[in-house]
Amino acid sequence: EPEVTQTPSHQVTQMGQEVILRCVPISNHLYFYWYRQILGQKVEFLVSFYNNEISEKSEIFDDQFSVERPDGSNFTLKIRSTKLEDSAMYFCASLRGEVNTGELFFGEGSRLTVL
C-alpha cells in the first residue's frame, strides 16, 4: 500500500541551526501538508501546498519556515533558525485531491529536538 515517508525520524539540533525535514508524498497525490505536534499538545496545521505554491498557512508558519517541492517527489520543510519551541513531531501529509472525498495520508513523523 502506498505511504507517505519522512526522513529523518529523529533529528537533534542546536538552537539557531537550520533544519530540513523531508517527505515523499504518495506519488499521485496533489496536495501536500505539514503539521506539527508539540509533546502533549494537539496536532496543528502549519501549511498546505498545491501546484508548486503555498495555498494556505497558519500563524505558526512564520518567516522562519519555508516549504518546497524541489524535484517532483520530495516535499521539504525548512526551519531557517531553530528555536527551542520548535521542538515537536512534524508530520507530512498528502491528499489525492478528490473534491469532498479526500483522505489525508500522514507519514510517521519526524521528531525534532532543539537544544
CA separation, residue 81 to residues 1, 85, 86 (Å) = 36, 11, 10
Q: Tell me, what amino acid is at 17?
A: Q
Q: Compose the 7-46 pattern: x for residues touching another protein by CB under 8 A, - for all others.
A: ------------------------x-x-x-----xxxxx-
- Enumerate residues 42-81 that contact another protein by CB under 8 A: 42-45, 48, 50, 55-56
Binding residues with another protein: total (CB under 8 A): 28
Residue 113 binding another protein, by CB under 8 A: no
Q: With CB under 8 A as the contact rule, which of the stretches 18-26, 61-69, 79-87, 97-105 interacts with another protein?
A: 97-105
Q: Tell me, what amino acid is at 21?
A: L
Q: Tell me, what amino acid is at 87?
A: S
**What are 36's strand-pairing partners?**
44, 90
